[in-house]
């Protein structure tokens, strides 16, 4: 059955407008990153007067972008790995066992989702400083402190999504595995985890993106050597000049890995959301 003509036309118009809305900033980012400085400080132009890759060379020396990149990669990568592993264990426990305090746990996990990040900023700062004073472990200003912070922000969402996902893996499967001689952990790793790969990938993508894009904690809890991209990009605005072409070039360099990864894995994300969050 073909949809009516009027629907086809309104769909065409709507999708065109929406594509424009989505694409214009992306176009501005790309085109401005290829313009000479004079071109971005003057009146806006849709087309560059001359194309140059100079901004892509200069971004690495105006600010230590390479170092920020490595910092972000370490922080986001570690937070993702830890968050996925911990979420898998917790979600398995919640999905497969009944135990005292289960409801309290799930409600707590769910409700930490609704807390504004600002609520934790100062107390965490104080805790990290206190731990540092008491034990000599420098959490404040270190990558470790930031990893710890980030992984707990993605943890509630990850657990929540994985519970839904694990619930959709038939219980018979891991019970059969246990009958065949697997322990509970064997059943988890041989049956449940492989069956839940889309959900786990979705959770990992989400955790990585959250950590890669976080601004608040990164700006308060890092120092010169541990600064991440989120904060580092501010370095392109100096007292005299704002290097818009370099900002756009750096933004693109920073965005391409996550956007590419996301688009490659979005199939899994949709599948994960269907089974998890959407339930």
Q: For residues 212 and 182, is the Cβ–Cβ distance under 8 A?
A: no
Interface stretch with other proteins, choices 48-56, 59-67, 94-102, 191-199 (CB under 8 A): 94-102
- Tell me phi and psi for residue 100, to 5 degrees: -65, 135
Is 74 a binder of other proteins (CB under 8 A)? no
Residues 192-221 close enough to bind other proteins by CB under 8 A: 209, 212-216, 220
DSSP character at residue 63: S
Is 230 a binder of other proteins (CB under 8 A)? yes
Interface stretch with other proteins, choices 47-55, 56-64, 82-90, 191-199 (CB under 8 A): 82-90
Is 38 a binder of other proteins (CB under 8 A)? no
Q: Which residues of 102-133 are buried (b: 16+ CB within 10 A; e: fewer)?
A: eeeeeeebeebeeeeeeebbeebbeebeeebe
Shortest Å distance, C-beta 135 to other proteins: 13
Beta-bridge partner residues of 242 = 237
Closest to other proteins by CB, 52 vs 274, is: 274
CA dihedral 266, 89, 188, 91 (to 10 degrees): -60
- The candidate with the shortest Cα–Cα distance to 56, out of 214, 186, 243, is 243
Shortest Å distance, C-beta 66 to other proteins: 17
**CA pair distance 272, 279, nearest whole angstrom:** 11
Shortest Å distance, C-beta 147 to other proteins: 11
Q: Site for other proteins (CB under 8 A): how many residues?
A: 99
Binding mask 131-170 for other proteins (x = CB under 8 A): -----------------xx-xxx-xx--x-----------
Shortest Å distance, C-beta 85 to other proteins: 8
């Amino acid at each position: 059955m073909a949809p009516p003509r009027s629907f086809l036309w309104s769909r065409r118009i709507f999708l065109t407008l929406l594509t424009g809305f989505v694409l214009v900033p992306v176009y501005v980012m790309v085109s401005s990153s290829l313009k000479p400085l004079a071109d971005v400080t003057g009146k806006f132009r849709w087309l560059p007067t001359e194309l140059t890759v100079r901004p892509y060379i200069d971004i690495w020396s105006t600010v230590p972008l390479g170092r920020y990149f490595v910092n972000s990669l370490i922080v986001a990568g570690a937070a993702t790995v830890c968050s996925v592993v911990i979420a898998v264990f917790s979600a398995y426990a919640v999905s497969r066992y009944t135990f005292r305090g289960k409801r309290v746990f799930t409600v707590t996990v769910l409700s930490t989702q609704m807390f504004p990040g600002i609520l934790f900023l100062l107390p965490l700062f104080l805790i990290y400083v206190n731990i540092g004073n008491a034990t000599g472990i420098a959490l404040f200003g270190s990558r470790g402190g930031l990893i710890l912070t980030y992984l707990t922000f993605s943890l509630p969402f990850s657990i929540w999504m994985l519970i839904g996902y694990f619930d959709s893996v038939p219980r018979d499967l891991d019970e059969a595995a246990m009958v065949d001689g697997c322990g509970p952990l064997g059943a988890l790793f041989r049956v449940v985890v492989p069956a839940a790969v889309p959900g786990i990938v979705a959770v990992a993508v989400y955790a990585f993106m959250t950590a890669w894009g976080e601004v608040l904690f990164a700006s308060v809890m890092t120092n010169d050597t541990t600064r991440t991209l989120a904060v580092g990009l501010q370095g392109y605005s100096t007292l005299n000049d704002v290097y818009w072409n370099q900002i756009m070039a750096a933004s693109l360099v920073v965005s391409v890995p996550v956007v590419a990864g996301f688009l490659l894995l979005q199939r899994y994300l949709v599948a994960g959301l269907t089974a998890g969050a959407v339930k």
